Amino acid sequence: MVSQGTGIAAAPTLAEGVYQQIRRNILEGRIAPGTRVSIRSLAESVGVSTMPTREALKRLGFEGLVEFDRRAVTITMLSPDEIRELFTIRSRLECLATEWALPAFDVEAAVALRSVLDRMAEPGIGPIVWRELNREFHQTFYACGTSRYLLELIHNIWDRIQPYMAVYASAVHDFTEADRQHAHMLQLMLAGDLDALLDATREHLHDTAEAIIRALDTGADHEDQEKNVNYEELSVSSFHGLIESGETTSAEVTAWYLQRIAELDDADNPSGPQLNSVVTVNPEAIAEARRIDERYARTGTLVGPLHGVPVLVKDQGETKGIPTSFGSTAFADYIPEVDATVVDRLRKAGAVILGKTAMCDFAAGWFSFSSRTQHTKNPYALDRETGGSSAGTAAAVTANLCLVGIGEDTGGSIRLPSSFTNLFGLRVTTGLVPRTGFSPLLHFQDTPGPMARNVADLAAILDVIVGYDPADAYTAIATTSSDVGDYVEAVSGVDVDALQHFRVGVLSDAFGSGDDQERTNGVVRAALDTLRRRGAGVVDGLVLGDLPAWVAETSLYTIQSKSDLENFLAARDHGGPSTIREIVDAGDFHELTDLLADIADGPDDPEDDPNYFKGRARQEEWRRTLIAMMAEADVDFLVYPTVQVPAPTREELAAKRWTALDFPTNTVIASQTSLPAMSIPVGFTDNGLPVGLEVLGRPLSERALLRFARAWELAESPRRAAALTSVAKA
């Protein structure tokens, strides 16, 4: 579907692409030293067969980065003496580079280094960003010299040490001393004091080596490291590989996640970041996991496609025996007797329900604050919002508090927080996933759905939860097309070259204007340039026209939501309030959930409102308009920023900079037209905040959306773990 123009760089071969991706994962610390992974699981994680994976591992073994046998690979773990040896070599090379660079050090280089130091000292900087800036500082100075060969040697030794620099940056929570050392070195450069600068360089590298050794020694007592297994960034396929190789059990992984929740999430743990993403844990989670393990021990067969997978579910979905509050303090004690359909399907597929995640009151907003749980912190910047209303699921998945998560999307509540937390989040065609047992907001827009760190996991969850539910007439759409289902199969054969088979249309008027908007726009435009380089067709300049009017004229929350919510509550024996007016008048909602008061003022019967039928008709008109736009431009999808601004601070929200109905999110485009859309991570702002690209498709185009996202994932490896996901024990 895309013509090949001139000047496009040739895509790397499959073997080269696999080698580069695995190597990048090792160097950036996403596969930690000492981790043992089956070759099959590793191949599945990059979406290829084992043959090119083995070829890539041979090259990595020659470089000393891995050790592998017939079935598994271990990321090389250096001894303390080997680390010291490498840093001794590094010290000698860098001292030579210092001698050659200092005479050529000039004002321009000094300004560049000062800029790097300023960024390194920014409050709340994460270890990944700090590590990259640390390397940039030294590289900028040594580049003042004239020897290309010396720089190549230094780069080689840096790459060899890089996995351990990831350990260092994640273990050292306060970079003050390291920043002081860098600032001192800059002062010596400016003074031209070579002898003192050489001493400072040696001291800095010695301190770094010893900090790495201490970090590795501190982690040696962890049970998961004793077993040579790293559960961070675990995927469904790699988890099942560990199960089948006997390296772990569902109970062990479930216990690991519960421990992380206690350490990283619990608001009562003063030594942790207190993310506040999990409302309650399932007291039977370990017992359920053990039963799955026992069955596997007897049969040798996985109990289902989600065998033993620990899942967190948004507190909007009813869970038998586990409190379900819908984000409201008024329902804190409500314990359902029946699972929501989605939860039931997860259990039958072998999943372990780990617990419930935070959300704003009745999902009536874009943020995390709720009367039940207050605020959920963003793992990438603790003073920032996670976004909502599936805030808890987003924070928990990205912080590795579960393997995968379930959110719910009415106006964007899966995609918006996915954008803010560097996740893949999919809103399916309305009705494809059953809503039974999920508190509604707008029944003709509501849909539960998956949120995951990678596309394959998203597909695995979809395969389980999609399908007809007799209790939800909207799900009949799942029976109308052969394009429904088989999502894991759809992504299994995707490679990086698949991007060349897609065309996307850029919806120009979905890009906002303003300082905050430009921070997001820059990241999205860079991603579009990357798509072009990768061979995708990119059609610029598509204009819908008067986007704010389309949004306003199709928004029906204040007309429909009251009826939907009260009908839902009336059908349950919960002992709580039965009307939204009771909740609002009693003040049993978070004061910043401004939409709930508007909902309480809505009509008892939506059809009594003169704008109801007009709004429904306008939604259908907007749907036709978008599909026609794709047809006219001959594109597979429309693309634009998922949200026009980066994650706001809690202070901005407390000051009521936005209301629920004027927050600049583009997610309502898909929601108010019932079209499928996916937020995919495409990068970070200059201050380290994740940015998502929304990809909007035609009805029932979920397979194509997943394939596009998988190709992007393989090409760019956009997932970057938040800093705190590497510190299970602070």
Residue 149's CB is within 10 A of a number of other CB atoms, namely 7
Q: Tell me the C-alpha distance between 563 and 302, whole Å.
A: 43
Q: Tell me the C-alpha distance between 639 and 537, whole Å.
A: 12
Q: Tell me the C-alpha distance between 105 and 445, whole Å.
A: 61
Q: Tell me the C-alpha distance between 433 and 430, whole Å.
A: 7
Q: Tell me the C-alpha distance between 600 and 612, whole Å.
A: 16
Considering only CA atoms, give the Rg of the chain: 26
Tokens of 697: 């498709």
Three-state secondary structure call for residue 691? strand
The DSSP output letter for 498 is G
* Pairing mode of beta strands 66-68, 278-281: unpaired
Three-state secondary structure call for residue 550? helix
Cβ neighbours of residue 115 under 8 Å, at least 6 residues apart?
Answer: none
Q: Which of 427, 426, 495 is nearest to 458 (CA)?
A: 426
Q: Tell me the C-alpha distance between 331 and 328, whole Å.
A: 6
Find the catalytic residue in 45, 370, 389, 555: 389
Active-site residue, 328 included: no
Report in angstroms the alpha-carbon separations of 307 from 45, 240, 254.
18, 8, 12
Q: Which of 379, 352, 370, 429 is nearest to 590 (CA)?
A: 370
Q: Tell me the C-alpha distance between 714 and 302, whole Å.
A: 28
* Pairing mode of beta strands 310-314, 404-409: parallel
Q: Tell me the C-alpha distance between 461 and 600, whole Å.
A: 35
β-strand partners of 640: 694
Find the catalytic residue in 413, 439, 679, 701: 413
Tokens of 42: 């590793």
Cβ proximity of 643 and 631 under 8 Å: no
Tokens of 325: 């509050």
Q: Tell me the C-alpha distance between 75 and 228, whole Å.
A: 10
Residue 243's CB is within 10 A of a number of other CB atoms, namely 20
Tokens of 318: 């009813």
Cβ proximity of 484 and 700 under 8 Å: yes
Cβ proximity of 635 and 539 under 8 Å: yes
Q: Tell me the C-alpha distance between 287 and 285, whole Å.
A: 5
Q: Tell me the C-alpha distance between 558 and 603, whole Å.
A: 8
Q: Tell me the C-alpha distance between 414 and 418, whole Å.
A: 6
Sheet holding 537-542, edge to edge: 278-281, 352-357, 310-314, 404-409, 447-452, 424-427, 677-684, 690-696, 637-641, 503-507, 537-542
The DSSP output letter for 9 is P
Active-site residue, 314 included: yes
Q: Tell me the C-alpha distance between 483 and 563, whole Å.
A: 33
What are the phi and psi torsion angles at 452 (to 5°)? -150, 165
Cβ proximity of 640 and 511 under 8 Å: yes
Cβ proximity of 633 and 1 under 8 Å: no
Find the catalytic residue in 235, 314, 328, 368: 314
Residue 723: exposed, middle, or buried by beta-carbon count in 10 A (0-12, 13-18, 19+)? buried
Active-site residue, 115 included: no
Active site residues: 314, 389, 413
